[in-house]
């Protein structure tokens, strides 16, 4: 009987929890985007990474991962950026920025002196 009551409570409150999470993910994503657009790259990266940790199942995750890679590139973290762009290509191909992922990966490879990989990415 206790198990049934617990299941019932979970089913009753699950929509509220999910709704609260979706509002939170949008707010954090927008905050990260604002920092990204105003050129505060380090703070944008921190917010996008926080977003990725807190909302791994969000519909915004593919775009957040792409933005993480661009932030890493802009901060000169080229090897990290390459790995992030690989992850975007393999796991988050639904991002609207997928085509740009190859450009940024190519640029990161270029800065790392990986000429062949840069050409292949472009």
- pLDDT of 93 reads 87
Check whether 17 has a pLDDT greater than 60: no
| Local confidence band at 9 (pLDDT 50, 70, 90 cut-offs) | very low
The predicted-structure confidence for 48-87, as pLDDT tens digits, reads as follows: 999 999 999 999 999 999 999 999 999 999 999 999 999 9
| Local confidence band at 106 (pLDDT 50, 70, 90 cut-offs) | very high
- The DSSP annotation for 60-119 comes to THHHHHHHHHHHHHHTT-HHHHHHHHHHHHHH-TTSTTHHHHHHHHHHHHHHTT-HHHHH
pTM for the whole structure: 0.79
Residues in the chain: 122
- pLDDT of 64 reads 97
């Amino acid at each position: 009987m206790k198990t049934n009551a617990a299941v019932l409570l979970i089913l009753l409150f699950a929509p509220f929890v999910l709704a609260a999470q979706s509002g939170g993910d949008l707010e954090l994503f927008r905050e990260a985007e604002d920092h990204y657009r105003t050129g505060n790259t380090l703070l944008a990266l921190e917010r996008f990474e926080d977003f990725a940790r807190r909302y791994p199942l969000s519909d915004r995750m593919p775009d957040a991962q792409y933005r993480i890679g661009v932030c890493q590139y802009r901060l000169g973290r080229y090897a990290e950026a390459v790995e992030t762009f690989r992850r975007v290509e393999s796991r988050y191909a639904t991002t609207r920025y997928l085509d740009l992922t190859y450009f940024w990966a190519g640029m990161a490879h270029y800065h790392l002196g990986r000429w062949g990989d840069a050409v292949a990415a472009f």
